[in-house]
Structure 1
């Protein structure tokens, strides 16, 4: 079987294969929005914190059958090759037309022929139930590739197909959420709304960005919206997918004041909750939790199979989920030296933490001993 490889290294070449990419995506049954052509296109166009594009397209008889979409990022003076979209995408996969490890093997071989561009490969947020994960494991075993597989952030989901409507309503009927809602209702008119047109959606987006800035800039982890490229990216994504009827933008309001917003995608019979924000002045009433509950509840009995609550197994997400999609973080090394060096660094870090914990324990024991001895001396006097 003959395959032809196309390698995209420049933004200018990206649009050349748009029709092929879109056609390939449509042929894949269990696909996520994060491998969609327009999602990747907007990342390539707006999120320009990468050093080098490396997008590999595999053709079989002039038909696109596989895509590996990567970029090289400089992290601590090390060139790391990652999926394009990291860390914006909740799930990362190779885009392949069929369950064929040979296509992934070709993509990997092409990467290693271009290894001058990177020092190490890290593939984040790879679903463990995906063709990518299963085929990579087969390739690692057969090719004896140096690699490490670690656990990445899980994604709680509410699977409507695995629970009856009655049980779903019972699961979502949380007493504390009702209590918070009742407290808010005493303060005025509580309303749930969803954007009905692009103008309203853009207004929601502006409020969401401001809430995100207000909340996270008070933390040690500043809001991504401090960088203009993320504001441009989110607005572009909103416009692109609104046209495709693939956006759900909902909010919780009290007397016309925005308490919380939830920005989600509707794609392939799947609701993908993506970004949620809330008004800090009302945090004790858990407005984000109320809105999540309302949105998950909204799709019970409708033509939606899954409501994905997004990356991270925070308690509030687990309460509204029926299962968690596990993901993996996969390290692939160019040679034995890189592999051994990585393991040595991890070992030293772990050992350092253990030594530090040991000395902290000794310090605590000595401190308590001295404190107790001082008390006894004082008591004897």
Structure 2
């Protein structure tokens, strides 16, 4: 594989070794990274479904759309030690074009958590520093906008240090606050951990659904008919939100549906996909869309038939999903982003994903800071309101 140099070779921390950071700019080169990416991802301390090669490559195939691709590759004597996939998204802010350097996977109508580079175990610090310094040397961007980073990764601190060393203005903070459940070893233990009211509601919902007719819970495994499940999930999700009098960006565009269809097809044979399904009277009435990775289950989206609302299919299915996750030996049920009351009611803890913004001295960076950062903060202060959540 040919790599285009971005920076010269710089000293590493292994005796007699050095690390070179190089970059790729084409989708074909992206595709050829799969073996190295998968190898590092499989052993990396900070790894998720969302920074896997398959997730990021599929995202680029759907959403890349001719935008400039910037993939940084850290090499030592020809061995790949780290990979960071970025691209440049151009937006208009106050009538000024602003070039944002972002993670592949962010910046469209999909919103992944726990993104960032894959770093070889035992070399994380050195590789992260080299990738961070190289990121700031990419000259065709006004703002380095790195959001939704895994808090266990060393990369957020590395990009902060690189910005400080380059004397570039930066802003760090929390991207999302995420609720999760620490799962016990058995379903009875989980039920006992709930409040009496919550336990009663969960049991009574399942009992009512079982008494209401024929009920079947299952996890989708039929690869040949997976399209049917995706279409039904999109339909149920949109119907549920329409009936509630609101709307949802999820499954609202052809690109969103195409991406999730392709990623489900790619992850089902890997054993990552968990489509929890509930049939009522032989009709698929609720689906909860999750991924399983390293004994954690991540909840992506869900949908249910509002015509069956009296049987609480969403609540019933979530109960079955939790029971199944415990039965598989999972340790955590992670709700990912999104503020919903039921998440906080069930959660045993919360975690934060991280963001770092780094600014050049350019008209685009000034327009971005004025509109996206300074004005919202000044407005909140003027009205005596809490600091606002800053938009990307």
TM-score, normalised via structure 1 length = 0.82
User: Within the alignment, does 1:67 sit opposite 2:83 as a pair?
Assistant: yes
Matches for 1:334-349 after TM superposition, within 5 Å: 334-335=360-361, 342-345=368-371, 346-349=373-376
User: Within the alignment, does 1:107 sit opposite 2:131 as a pair?
Assistant: yes
Deviation of 1:43 (Å):
0.9
Change (3 A) 1:160 1:10: same
Change (3 A) 1:49 1:178: farther
Partner of 1:52: 68
- 1:202 equivalent among 202, 221, 227: 227
Contact 1:127 1:327 in 2 (8 A): yes
Partner of 1:159: 182
Partner of 2:24: 8
Partner of 1:150: 173
Contact 2:69 2:88 in 1 (8 A): yes
Gaps of 5+ in 2: 1-10, 12-17, 386-392
Partner of 2:292: 266
User: Within the alignment, does 1:169 sit opposite 2:191 as a pair?
Assistant: yes
Gaps of 5+ in 1: 359-381
Provide the C-alpha distance between the structure 2 equivalents of 1:287 and 1:74, rounded to a whole number of angstroms.
42
Which segment is superposed worse, 30-39 or 43-52?
Answer: 43-52
Matches for 1:183-222 after TM superposition, within 5 Å: 183-216=208-241, 221-222=247-248
Deviation of 1:209 (Å):
1.4
Q: What per-residue deviation string (whole Å, max 9, x for no partner) do you get for residues 254-274 of structure 1?
A: 212333201222222222222
Partner of 1:129: 152
Provide the C-alpha distance between the structure 1 equivalents of 2:252 and 2:337, rounded to a whole number of angstroms.
21
Aligned length: 356
Which segment is superposed worse, 84-93 or 195-204?
Answer: 195-204
Provide the C-alpha distance between the structure 1 equivalents of 2:64 and 2:165, rounded to a whole number of angstroms.
36
Partner of 2:344: 318
Provide the C-alpha distance between the structure 2 equivalents of 1:217 and 1:75, rounded to a whole number of angstroms.
30
Deviation of 1:119 (Å):
1.7
User: Within the alignment, does 1:333 sit opposite 2:359 as a pair?
Assistant: yes
Q: Secondary structure at the match of 2:61?
A: helix
Provide the C-alpha distance between the structure 1 equivalents of 2:365 and 2:173, rounded to a whole number of angstroms.
14
Change (3 A) 1:139 1:271: same
Change (3 A) 1:281 1:312: same
User: Within the alignment, does 1:85 sit opposite 2:105 as a pair?
Assistant: yes
Contact 1:181 1:290 in 2 (8 A): yes
Q: Secondary structure at the match of 2:113?
A: coil
Contact 1:50 1:71 in 2 (8 A): no
Partner of 1:377: none
Change (3 A) 1:139 1:287: farther
TM-score, normalised via structure 2 length = 0.80
Which segment is superposed worse, 212-221 or 284-293?
Answer: 212-221
Contact 1:115 1:334 in 2 (8 A): no
Q: Secondary structure at the match of 2:268?
A: helix
Provide the C-alpha distance between the structure 2 equivalents of 1:15 and 1:234, rounded to a whole number of angstroms.
19
- 1:96 equivalent among 113, 116, 119: 119
Matches for 1:212-251 after TM superposition, within 5 Å: 212-216=237-241, 221-251=247-277
Which segment is superposed worse, 301-310 or 250-259?
Answer: 301-310
Larger radius of gyration: 1
Partner of 2:5: none
Q: What per-residue deviation string (whole Å, max 9, x for no partner) do you get for residues 90-138 of structure 1?
A: 211221114543322322332333222x221211111333322343444
- 2:314 equivalent among 274, 283, 288: 288
Deviation of 1:323 (Å):
1.5
Provide the C-alpha distance between the structure 2 equivalents of 1:227 and 1:291, rounded to a whole number of angstroms.
26
**Greater share of helix:** 1
Provide the C-alpha distance between the structure 2 equivalents of 1:66 and 1:339, rounded to a whole number of angstroms.
28
